[in-house]
Chains A and B, each alone.
Chain A
Amino acid sequence: MEAAVMRIPDTICGRLSEGELAANFADAHPPLTHAQAVIEAERCFYCYDAPCVQACPTSIDIPKFIKAIATNNMQGSARTILESNILGGACARVCPTEILCEQKCVHTAREAGQAIRIGALQRHATDWQMEHGGQPFTRAVATGKRIAVVGAGPAGLACAHRLAMHGHNIDLIDTHTLPGGLNEYGVAAYKLADDFAQKEVDFLMAIGGITFQGGLSLGKDFTVAQLRKEYDAVFLAVGLAGVRAMGIEGEQLDGVMDAVTFIETLRSQDKKTVPVGRRVVVVGGGNTAVDAAVQARRLGAEDVFLVYRRGHEQMSATTVEREWAQTNGVTVKLWASPVRIVSENGVLRGVEFARGAIGPDGSIAYNPADTFIIEADMVLKAVGQTFLSTPLQADTIAISGGRILVDDQYQTTMQGVFAGGDCTPGEDLTVAAVRDGRDAAEAIHAMLSQNSGQ
């Protein structure tokens, strides 16, 4: 018997030159020039009670800010955006506008694909503000109130900024060393290129009254009850810290990792120090799967498969995202469910999938007898993120449907403790998180104003 050739997964750093990496992780969608922005702005019909505004979770007055670009009132344009959405810069870059404002644009109703480029225009205005105008808002008279915001992602930042505007002081606490949350650690690098997340945080924090405390974890370093004693109010925006497991054989093998971990590594390190397989399989159908797959390609992976167990329509990644993956050379395979991670002598070899289809009754069935194996040096799991409630174990905060239960004023079941963003029910979108943070801040401010009025 011949000795089996020991398989070694081909996963290495530095597949590409520094120049190639820099190009691959530069701004994926470069900004409009002012002339381009004006031409685009002039296409806008300036709708009344505009459908695009209705589609924006933060209700930015889109026709107003676009009109202001057309009239070269850049300061007014930016202010219109930022007073509804202080993270308008990030949202302009990461929002799936194709399923939000731009989908509802009346130009789309006239001819598909002709929507006003609202995201690009929003970026133009907010970039102008950050370059020329700085922080446009000022703080109200100091109230002496202190609020703890746990989680420095979009929801936490938006909440902190709005509270600061109202004159409160905020301690912004996060487990990471840098504020920004998913903008800093979870989104594809080319969407927020040139360290945009930190630039935006600096811009936002320039209002004053916000102190960032990094490296502190809820449930480990402090509890909500402790914060509640020390602060006048608490806002929880801890996001989704858990990741779903596929629950199949071989998941613990070397080379199998969570896509969010892969992305976070990539966002935190020099790209040339991030290992990537020659052949990568990404399992999942959301934006995280797309971000992981495309970035794997851009790190130099030769073959990247994005495998999703259902079809296009069921994918949570938008059509634009899926096509982005495909134009980046990612092979998208649908109707395939992972059965097991295949290994040889304990070494990762690939993933075995069972083919599936929708039956006549609408149910999906996978045929265990009809399987195929995709060879892989690296497997990235992107089958969903979950809210991790363990850090709240010491506190009396109700959880419902796997997320923190809040009322219509973002108040949890613990008095004076509010929550918003991905850790609460609702759509997991940056822009929705910003709305939660903003509106929770208003609720907190109303509560504090009422208290001090008594």
Chain B
Amino acid sequence: MADLRTTFAGIKSPNPFWLASAPPTDKAYNVRRAFEAGWGGVVWKTLGEDPPVVNVSSRYGSLNYNGNRLMGLNNIELISDRPLAVNLAEIKQVKRDYPDRAVVVSLMVPCVEESWKAILPLVEETGADGIELNFGCPHGMSERNMGAAVGQVPEYVEMVTRWCKQYTRMPVIVKLTPNITNILMPALAAKRGGADAVSLINTIQSVIGVDLDQMAPMPVVGGKGTHGGYCGPAVKPIALRMIGDIARHPELAGIPISGMGGIGSWRDAAEFLAMGATTLQVCTAAMHYGFRIVDDMIDGLSSWMDQKGYADIPSVSGQAIPRFVNWGNLNLKFKTLADINQDACIGCGLCHIACEDTSHQAISKTLVDGKNHYEVIDEECVGCNLCAHVCPIDDCITMQPQPVEGELTWPEHPNNPNRVTA
């Protein structure tokens, strides 16, 4: 049985699955239910200064795709709208009742030293395991020079992180916004400021859709809409890339990463771990199905680790990083060819039309025994995988790697005007 226990910047949890700072961790009632369901930790929904913020009614928008709900979720909710004292009291009691679980408190106060200096002892007093600096919220709070407005300026990230390290002994996790061009800049700034860990990604600025009757972006609040923060399965690829960028960076190597962004299954979790995360945060999947989803995450991850012989989380973490390289390091001599299993083919023609219209005209359509017959033209196939992706049948079209002789990358390629010559 794989050991799922994690120690993240000194914070212990029985498994790597934490609930992200968001509506599911807004108050003790939810958090207790989460712990009862088996979650390893929570990041309490962001606390701010009193008086609390006010939230609007109508807060979420969903991106549905082909009958699947919540492929992406957009929210315009702000930080906790409850008085600080209420949150602090609940955090204290919950941590006392669940000492084995990680309880991290997300914080967002104005970018003023006094504000941070004031709130940190209050949080520390609760017995919480650590703090997460919310430099990520891309909507609402950023208009007030908080959240992503801080996260987008590396100097501010470094400055606030330093204040926090100065005024508390709690581990400091810096939550990064993806609404930047280079995730390394704020990550490096966090490290310079003394951050114990980073967490990412926060939500992405988005307009989820437009209400064509009201002619307003959704969700529509009294006839108007605003941009929100985007999360859910659709953002997973963006998160994986940013996490990998940090994990493979020489100066950042080894900084604990709490990965999040679209994790909905044990498999997603394994991928985040492989790209360098050591704990995982989940929100949308729980908001979609409830806290019970953690069962399969724990169970599935554990079974997979057993099958693959990974004894514990650190042995999985970062496993894909040595093979996460720049494009210029890819072998241009490598070739893979599509192969259609004719016994599995149902004749939908999607591979053909995708290749014919949008790729390399490498799948022929002929009439055989009165039925459309599709075949790969090896000479034309560039191994792009598109056919395999559009095919609705699992393992009907597979990519067959061809024997490779040697390696040739772009830096050495004859077509490269700036090629490296010996």
Indicate whether A and B interact.
Answer: yes
Residues of A within 8 A of B (CB): 38-39, 42, 45-51, 70, 106-107, 109-110
Bound-complex Cα distance A47 to B372 (A): 11
Bound-complex Cα distance A106 to B348 (A): 6
- Check if B159 is an interface residue, CB within 8 A of chain A: no
Could you show 28 A-B contacts with beta carbons less than 8 Å apart? A38-B67, A39-B67, A42-B66, A42-B67, A46-B350, A47-B347, A47-B348, A47-B350, A48-B348, A48-B349, A48-B350, A48-B352, A48-B353, A49-B352, A49-B353, A49-B365, A49-B372, A50-B349, A51-B347, A51-B371, A70-B66, A106-B346, A106-B348, A107-B346, A109-B346, A109-B347, A110-B346, A110-B393
Q: Quote the shortest CB–CB distance from B269 to chain A (angstroms).
A: 28
Chain B residues with CB below 8 A from A45, complex form: 348, 350, 392
Chain A residues with CB below 8 A from B67, complex form: 38-39, 42
Does B347 contact A106, Cβ atoms closer than 8 Å?
A: yes
Chain A residues with CB below 8 A from B347, complex form: 47, 51, 106, 109
Q: Quote the shortest CB–CB distance from A10 to chain B (angstroms).
A: 51
Bound-complex Cα distance A107 to B365 (A): 20
| Residue from A39, A46, A50, A106 with most neighbouring chain B CB atoms (10 Å) | A106
Bound-complex Cα distance A48 to B348 (A): 6
Chain A residues with CB below 8 A from B392, complex form: 45
Residue of B nearest to A105 (CB): B346
Chain A residues with CB below 8 A from B348, complex form: 45, 47-48, 50, 106
Contact with A along B404-421 (1 / 0, CB 8 A): 000000000000000000
Bound-complex Cα distance A49 to B67 (A): 24
Does B349 contact A49, Cβ atoms closer than 8 Å?
A: yes
Bound-complex Cα distance A125 to B165 (A): 64
Q: Quote the shortest CB–CB distance from A53 to chain B (angstroms).
A: 11
| Residue from B66, B346, B348 with most neighbouring chain A CB atoms (10 Å) | B348
* Chain A interface SS verdict (over half): helix
Bound-complex Cα distance A50 to B348 (A): 6
Q: Which of B54-71 contact A (CB under 8 A)?
A: 66-67
Contact with A along B170-191 (1 / 0, CB 8 A): 0000000000000000000000
Q: Quote the shortest CB–CB distance from A343 to chain B (angstroms).
A: 51
Size category of the binding interface on chain B:
10 to 19
Chain B residues with CB below 8 A from A106, complex form: 346-348
Residue of B nearest to A43 (CB): B67
Bound-complex Cα distance A42 to B64 (A): 12
Does A51 contact B66, Cβ atoms closer than 8 Å?
A: no
Residue of B nearest to A50 (CB): B349
Bound-complex Cα distance A110 to B392 (A): 10
Residue of B nearest to A106 (CB): B346
Chain B residues with CB below 8 A from A49, complex form: 349, 352-353, 365, 372
Bound-complex Cα distance A70 to B65 (A): 11
Bound-complex Cα distance A49 to B347 (A): 9
Contact with A along B135-157 (1 / 0, CB 8 A): 00000000000000000000000
Q: Which of B330-387 contact A (CB under 8 A)?
A: 346-350, 352-353, 365, 371-372
Bound-complex Cα distance A74 to B348 (A): 24
Bound-complex Cα distance A38 to B66 (A): 9
Q: Quote the shortest CB–CB distance from A210 to chain B (angstroms).
A: 38
Given contacts A39-B67, A42-B66, whether A51 and B372 have CB atoms under 8 Å apart is yes
Bound-complex Cα distance A107 to B347 (A): 10
Chain A residues with CB below 8 A from B349, complex form: 47-50
Chain B residues with CB below 8 A from A50, complex form: 348-349
Chain B residues with CB below 8 A from A46, complex form: 350
Chain B residues with CB below 8 A from A51, complex form: 347, 371-372
Q: Quote the shortest CB–CB distance from A38 to chain B (angstroms).
A: 7
Q: Quote the shortest CB–CB distance from B66 to chain A (angstroms).
A: 5
Contact with A along B235-262 (1 / 0, CB 8 A): 0000000000000000000000000000
Chain A residues with CB below 8 A from B350, complex form: 45-48
Q: Quote the shortest CB–CB distance from A48 to chain B (angstroms).
A: 3
Bound-complex Cα distance A51 to B66 (A): 22
Residue of B nearest to A111 (CB): B346
Residue of A nearest to B392 (CB): A45
Bound-complex Cα distance A217 to B349 (A): 49
Bound-complex Cα distance A61 to B372 (A): 17
Known contacts A38-B67, A39-B67, then 12 further A-B pairs from the complex at CB < 8 Å, ordered by chain A residue: A45-B350, A45-B392, A46-B350, A47-B349, A47-B350, A48-B348, A48-B349, A49-B353, A50-B348, A109-B346, A109-B347, A110-B393
Chain A residues with CB below 8 A from B372, complex form: 49, 51
Q: Quote the shortest CB–CB distance from B321 to chain A (angstroms).
A: 37
Chain A residues with CB below 8 A from B371, complex form: 51
Residue of A nearest to B349 (CB): A48
| Residue from A39, A46, A48 with most neighbouring chain B CB atoms (10 Å) | A48
Q: Quote the shortest CB–CB distance from A118 to chain B (angstroms).
A: 15
Bound-complex Cα distance A255 to B365 (A): 58
Bound-complex Cα distance A70 to B66 (A): 8
Bound-complex Cα distance A413 to B392 (A): 50
Residue of B nearest to A39 (CB): B67
Chain A residues with CB below 8 A from B346, complex form: 106-107, 109-110
Q: Quote the shortest CB–CB distance from B234 to chain A (angstroms).
A: 18
Q: Which of B253-275 contact A (CB under 8 A)?
A: none
Bound-complex Cα distance A106 to B391 (A): 12
Bound-complex Cα distance A110 to B346 (A): 7
Going nearest first, the 7 A-B pairs with the smallest beta carbon separation are A48-B349, A48-B353, A42-B67, A109-B346, A106-B346, A47-B348, A106-B348
Bound-complex Cα distance A51 to B392 (A): 15
Chain B residues with CB below 8 A from A47, complex form: 347-350
Residue of A nearest to B356 (CB): A48
Bound-complex Cα distance A42 to B69 (A): 13
Residue of A nearest to B65 (CB): A42
Bound-complex Cα distance A46 to B353 (A): 11
Residue of A nearest to B371 (CB): A51
Residue of A nearest to B352 (CB): A48
Bound-complex Cα distance A47 to B350 (A): 6
Q: Quote the shortest CB–CB distance from B291 to chain A (angstroms).
A: 27
Bound-complex Cα distance A51 to B353 (A): 14
Q: Quote the shortest CB–CB distance from A308 to chain B (angstroms).
A: 29
Chain A residues with CB below 8 A from B393, complex form: 110
Bound-complex Cα distance A38 to B177 (A): 37
Q: Quote the shortest CB–CB distance from A432 to chain B (angstroms).
A: 18
Chain A residues with CB below 8 A from B352, complex form: 48-49
Chain A residues with CB below 8 A from B66, complex form: 42, 70
| Residue from A38, A39, A49, A50 with most neighbouring chain B CB atoms (10 Å) | A49
Bound-complex Cα distance A13 to B142 (A): 80
Q: Quote the shortest CB–CB distance from B213 to chain A (angstroms).
A: 13
Q: Quote the shortest CB–CB distance from A102 to chain B (angstroms).
A: 14
Chain B residues with CB below 8 A from A42, complex form: 66-67
Chain B residues with CB below 8 A from A48, complex form: 348-350, 352-353
